[in-house]
Amino acid sequence: MIISHQHRFVFAAIPKTGTHSVRQALREHMSAEDLEQVGLFVNKRFPFAELASIKHGHITLEQIRPYLGEEKFASYLKFAFVRNPFDRFVSYCAFMTRATDAFNRNPKAVMRNILFEVRPMHHILFVPQHTFVTAEDGRMLADTVGRVEEMQASYDAICARIGIPSRLLDQVNSSRRGDYRNYYDQQLIDGVADLYRRDLELFDYRF
């Protein structure tokens, strides 16, 4: 997450949505009073003990709200990027088994095991995307949500709203696996659709 008091925005970094590319670009506009929490490639912590103790930078808008204060929370532009849950799940499975190469050998077996057996609901990379940008009652807290599928255009539009110059986003921590749909059968489609149903509805995604 990045909080810019200078430019009055909050960037909620949802895992597996190209957040490191966005962070790199936004850092070019950060001042000394701006804040960031991140745990990969760069290690920074918020000056709030409870949040600083979290070992990553994927803080939710609901979590940061009391530290920011209602006035700033309401007036700052709050944004995030989201990704098709079917594509994001493939990325998660490949990432989590990268040390063993299991995904490349038998992707569907890995996906079934994670989805139906392991089901790591408390793992920060696995949790549904909507939880980062909605309140406990389900209300949307983000003012705008960009899409990974149109990353550059989304970033350009967000920069225009913030009032900072945009630039071409770098490719950071990316991989090339081809079309995510090639990794699915009907059982996996149904399982992912059930798990991430709210993401699919809220962000208007489908297989």
- In whole angstroms, what is the distance from residue 39 CA to residue 59 CA? 11
Distance of CA 28 to the CA centre of its chain: 20
CATH-assigned architecture of domain 2-202 = 3-Layer(aba) Sandwich (3.40)
Task: Note the pLDDT tens digit of each residue in 113-141.
Answer: 999 999 999 999 999 999 999 999 999 99
Report how far apart, in Å, the C-alpha atoms of 104 and of each of 50, 95, 110 are.
38, 11, 9
The pTM (predicted TM-score) of the whole model is: 0.95
CB 148 within 8 A of CB 18: yes
User: What pLDDT was estimated at residue 59?
Assistant: 98
User: What pLDDT was estimated at residue 171?
Assistant: 84
CB 133 within 8 A of CB 145: yes
For residue 73, the cross-strand partners are: none
Query: Do β-strands 2-4 and 35-36 pair in parallel, antiparallel, or remain unpaired?
Result: antiparallel
Task: Note the pLDDT tens digit of each residue in 60-102.
Answer: 999 999 999 999 999 999 999 999 999 999 999 999 999 999 9
Q: 103: buried, middle or exposed (CB in 10 Å: 19+, 13-18, 0-12)?
A: buried
CB 94 within 8 A of CB 120: no
The two structure tokens encoding residue 14: 């949802």
Query: Do β-strands 77-82 and 144-147 pair in parallel, antiparallel, or remain unpaired?
Result: parallel
The two structure tokens encoding residue 124: 């920060």
Sequence spans of domains, the chain = 2-202
Give the pLDDT band of residue 143 (cuts 50, 70, 90).
Answer: very high
By residue count, the chain amounts to 207
The two structure tokens encoding residue 136: 């406990």
Residue 10's SS3 state is strand
CB 59 within 8 A of CB 122: no
- 103-119 average pLDDT score: 97
Task: Note the pLDDT tens digit of each residue in 14-28.
Answer: 999 999 999 999 999
User: What pLDDT was estimated at residue 173?
Assistant: 62
For residue 32, the cross-strand partners are: none
CB 156 within 8 A of CB 164: no
